[in-house]
Amino acid sequence: MTLLGIWMLMAALQVVVVGGEAERSLSSEQGSLPCTRGFTQKEYIIEVDQELAKGQAIFNVSFMDCGGGKVWFEVGDPSDFRVSEDGTVSTLRPLSLVGKGKAMVMVYARDLQSKQVWKTRVHLHAGSQQVTQQQVKPSDATLTQRVPEILFPWRSVVVRGDGTLRRVKRDWVIPPINVPENSRGQFPEDLVRIRSDRDKNRMLRYSVTGPGADQPPTGIFIINPISGQLSVTKPLDREHISNFHLRAHAVDLNGNQVENPIDIVINVIDQNDNRPEFTHTIFNGSVPEGSKPGSFVMTVTAVDKDDPKTANGMLRYKILSQNPQSPSSNMFTINNKTGDIITVAAGLDREKVTQYTLIIQATDMEGNPTYGLSNTATTIIRITDVNDNPPEFTTDTFFGEVHENRVNVIVANLTVTDKDQPHTQAWSAVYRIIAGDPTGRFSIPTDPTTNEGLLTVVKPIDFELTRSFLLTVEAENEVALARGIHLPRQSTATVSVRILDINESPEFSPNPKPIKLEEGLPAGSLLSTFTAQDPDRFMRQTVRYSKMYDPANWLEIDPVNGRISTIAILDRESPYVKNNLYNVTFMASDNGIPPASGTGTLQMYLMDINDNAPHVFPPEVEMCEKPDPNAINITASDPDLTPNAGPFAFELASRPSDVRRNWTLSRVNGEYAQLRLRIGSLASGIYEVPIMITDSGNLPMSNTSYLRVKVCQCDHHGDCVDMERIIAAGLGTGAIIAILICIIILLVLVLLFVMWMKRRDKERQAKQLLIDPEDDVRDNILKYDEEGGGEEDQDYDLSQLQQPDALESECVKVGIRRLDERPLHHDHQYPLRSAAPHPGDIGDFIHEGLKAADNDPTAPPYDSLLVFDYEGSGSTAGSLSSLHSSSSCGDQDYDYLGDWGPRFRKLADLYGGGDD
């Protein structure tokens, strides 16, 4: 089955049907006969090969169900044949008809609901095989390829109702064609020949369709259209496509179908062309230490792309090596089929070997080392820890000491060793005191990092009662020890703890100390003795007393004997007394080194006496001018308690005399009285009514208090509506002060605003006149220490300030022009300016030039150098620095310069001041 070139022989099956009842659903020739459930034929005659292989399909039967439901097929000889749901009959084992020539098979159909049974008989006849031999290549050795021939189904014989015979078609199953993959034969390689029995009397054309032929992947299978020879054109790969389903067709030259298409299944036979592949390169597993032989560890898995139903894909596993080989070289074994790894030897100890490395081999061909392909993978088996090592103390006895009365203090560190894996439950220790601490004054928590036991004091220890402890401590793990392991002696240790004495604070007893007494005790009264005891019995110390907290400062204590006496009168109505209780704290200090002190509280319960007179309540009431009703209910307020308070007795005072004339007071009960207006109405205002009230104490106390009655105008609801009550109330001192402060703040704000406005005006003026008019460089000629032309710079010809044509001829003098007076900028085309209205009026001339410059859009800004009238280098005026006074022009009047303003004042003083 596994050798290349072996082809399965296909039998040419010729079916002859003898007799039987006509099929009800054949062709239109049978007309409209009624449908009858049952097999289409009573008997079948099938010609088959003499040798039948196991699982080979032989024929199929047809059943007409006529819509009656599904039927179940059975064969009469279930040991040799079986029938499928679609009616295909195949062999269950290899059969041989050699010497017999024929065989008979009964096929039954059973309705599962009605239990009705139909049957048909099949006759198998051994026929001759049509086989052709073909010479093969020498590379294929002695293998012979036998190309079978497939005939389209013959027409079966059907008996008509009148006894005549007619041949009709029927379908049957063609056994699949097996083709080995990776064939190295000459391509195209013939597979099978397809032929119709109609080709004897006409020319036919054959074709195949389906994946591999005319559908992707196309061109793998081709057919000779004339001979019907089906061939494969290239090697096949089963791992890519394991089978092909083709359909063969036979048509005449006109393209008319002459046979029904038949299905052809081509199976690709597997070859061992794939090596096993493990699912992981490295497998990781674990097993507890101390596991018994046969304990499951893990499973390794490999896959093979070859057919798993053949030896090519059947794998076998094997352990090639183990590292380390301790304590045995064969600690594990593997199931060669499933890949399960189990232990086979005892002695797994994590403390000695933490992990094992195994090399696993997987081989196909059922592990055949000669023909099989193999591959390897690495398996790492980690030995997990179990609690097989108990904790052991590093020493038998531990020592520690602690001061008395100290809690949450570590006395000693208990150390153990444990060979199990650190920071696991099998390694973590739990400490327990099993003896020596009946009162539970110690505990031993575990340090999670070092695994040490921290012996800690959790309850105060009194040195005067116990001076030392001897504890027995046991160490265990968080989890129980493995079966068969017991705690050794080293898991128990002794701890000796010594208690150190310290100076303890004196203690008051009882604390607090309650006493009961009446209020009103005079100063100097002895109340009680409050002393403290020093618990240090082995130290001779003196105790002194002092007062720590006494909010009302009523008491004092004797520093030596602790006697408490009053220094002021006790008053139950004091605000420091809450619920009749008054607490005073005292301190007792010894003279130890270092000194220690303790506190105690004296709790005094003050009993009430009648020491407070009653007062009218409420102290103020309101009443309308014409009250209706005109009665007011009043009561009394007394800080004392019952029976030193109510019931009260109310009475109007006899003075002044108009009180009883205007008012009347009647008793309602022991707590209330009713004040009425005796007259019909009363003018608006405030009236003070004296009322004498007496309490019910053992020694009654009386008091006359004044009830303020505000009489006002009322609305129909009886409420005051006028402003007299507000006026009467007046403004308090706080309200007046607040109003004055608001007025002062408002005045200060106004003053600051005025000052700010004045300052802003000054700043605005300063910006406008940043330069003194006398020093304004735009209107004055300034001399900056110029070292010019000597004496000639001091000669000024004022006549040049006038227009040349306005001067007398004798006053014209050509001055010396300085070369540096020429403007540095380029000559500009300035607009023409008209001459001054009056030739001698230089002021009008200047104003006219200033106006022209202001209106000139091409002129530079106001603070730049302006050229009012530059007439070129040929000017007769010369330089301004060469101006001098001409003797011939001394009679000229320059006083009018003073009328031009402050900017020309210097010129007026210089030239208009006379001879000076």
* pLDDT 10s digits, 338-377: 999 999 999 899 989 999 999 999 999 999 988 899 999 9
**pLDDT of 835:** 47
Percent above pLDDT 90 for the chain: 29
Report the C-alpha dihedral over residues 571, 572, 576, 579, rounded to 10 degrees: 170
Average pLDDT over residues 774-800: 52
Coil vs helix vs strand at 491: helix
Q: What is the pLDDT of residues 433-475, one digit of tens each?
A: 999 999 999 999 999 999 999 999 999 998 888 889 999 999 9
**pLDDT of 287:** 95
**pLDDT of 763:** 83
Q: How far is residue 602's CA from residue 509's CA, in Å, rounded to a whole number?
A: 11
Asked if pLDDT for residue 807 goes beyond 80, the answer is: no
Copy the structure tokens of residue 593: 């080194």
Q: How confident is the model at residue 784 (pLDDT cuts 50, 70, 90)?
A: low
Q: How far is residue 196's CA from residue 12's CA, in Å, rounded to a whole number?
A: 12
**First-last CA distance in the chain:** 154
What residue type is assigned to position 522 of the chain? P
Stretch among 13-22, 170-179, 280-289 having the lowest mean pLDDT: 13-22
Q: How far is residue 671's CA from residue 847's CA, in Å, rounded to a whole number?
A: 106
Using CA atoms, how far residue 558 sits from 505, 524, 525, 605, in Å, is 19, 12, 13, 21
Higher pLDDT, 606 or 353: 353
Average pLDDT over residues 678-704: 80
- Mode of pairing for the β-strands spanning 204-209 and 243-252: antiparallel
Higher pLDDT, 845 or 775: 845
DSSP 306: S
Q: How confident is the model at residue 883 (pLDDT cuts 50, 70, 90)?
A: very low
Stretch among 69-78, 125-134, 454-463 having the lowest mean pLDDT: 125-134
Q: What is the pLDDT of residues 811-832, one digit of tens each?
A: 433 333 444 444 444 444 445 5
Percent above pLDDT 70 for the chain: 76
User: Taking Cα atoms as reference points, which of 859, 830, 842 lies closest to residue 900?
Assistant: 842
What residue type is assigned to position 839 of the chain? P
- Of 44-58, 286-300, 600-614, which has the strongest mean pLDDT? 286-300
**pLDDT of 171:** 46
Higher pLDDT, 765 or 236: 236
Average pLDDT over residues 758-768: 80
Higher pLDDT, 726 or 76: 76
Stretch among 83-92, 195-204, 499-508, 884-893 having the lowest mean pLDDT: 884-893
Q: How far is residue 354's CA from residue 290's CA, in Å, rounded to a whole number?
A: 12
Q: How far is residue 628's CA from residue 612's CA, in Å, rounded to a whole number?
A: 36
Average pLDDT over residues 207-213: 94
Average pLDDT over residues 412-422: 92
Q: How far is residue 181's CA from residue 178's CA, in Å, rounded to a whole number?
A: 10
Average pLDDT over residues 396-411: 92
Asked if pLDDT for residue 248 goes beyond 80, the answer is: yes
Q: How confident is the model at residue 596 (pLDDT cuts 50, 70, 90)?
A: confident
**pLDDT of 83:** 87
Categorise residue 423: left if φ over 0, alpha if ψ from -120 to 50, beta otherwise.
Answer: left
Q: What is the pLDDT of residues 292-307, one digit of tens each?
A: 999 999 999 999 999 9
Higher pLDDT, 857 or 52: 52
Q: How confident is the model at residue 878 (pLDDT cuts 50, 70, 90)?
A: low
Average pLDDT over residues 144-153: 55
Q: How far is residue 601's CA from residue 502's CA, in Å, rounded to a whole number?
A: 25
User: Taking Cα atoms as reference points, which of 144, 143, 236 lies closest to residue 183?
Assistant: 236
Q: How confident is the model at residue 105 (pLDDT cuts 50, 70, 90)?
A: confident
Find out whether 268 and 305 touch, Cβ atoms under 8 Å.
no
Find out whether 306 and 313 touch, Cβ atoms under 8 Å.
yes
Find out whether 394 and 417 touch, Cβ atoms under 8 Å.
yes
Asked if pLDDT for residue 138 goes beyond 80, the answer is: no
Q: How far is residue 691's CA from residue 256's CA, in Å, rounded to a whole number?
A: 141
**pLDDT of 137:** 33
Mean pLDDT of the chain: 78
Stretch among 2-16, 104-118, 446-460, 578-592 having the lowest mean pLDDT: 2-16
**pLDDT of 755:** 92
Asked if pLDDT for residue 748 goes beyond 90, the answer is: yes
**pLDDT of 154:** 46
Q: How confident is the model at residue 856 (pLDDT cuts 50, 70, 90)?
A: confident
Asked if pLDDT for residue 589 goes beyond 60, the answer is: yes
Q: How far is residue 824's CA from residue 870's CA, in Å, rounded to a whole number?
A: 12
**pLDDT of 797:** 55
Asked if pLDDT for residue 643 goes beyond 60, the answer is: yes
Alpha helices in 698-802 (DSSP H): 724-729, 733-768
What residue type is assigned to position 845 of the chain? F
Using CA atoms, how far residue 233 sits from 111, 149, 230, 675, in Å, is 48, 19, 10, 134
Higher pLDDT, 594 or 277: 277
* Residues contacting 913, CB < 8 A, separation 6+: none
Stretch among 515-519, 600-604, 858-862 having the lowest mean pLDDT: 858-862
* pTM exceeding 0.75: no
**pLDDT of 49:** 80
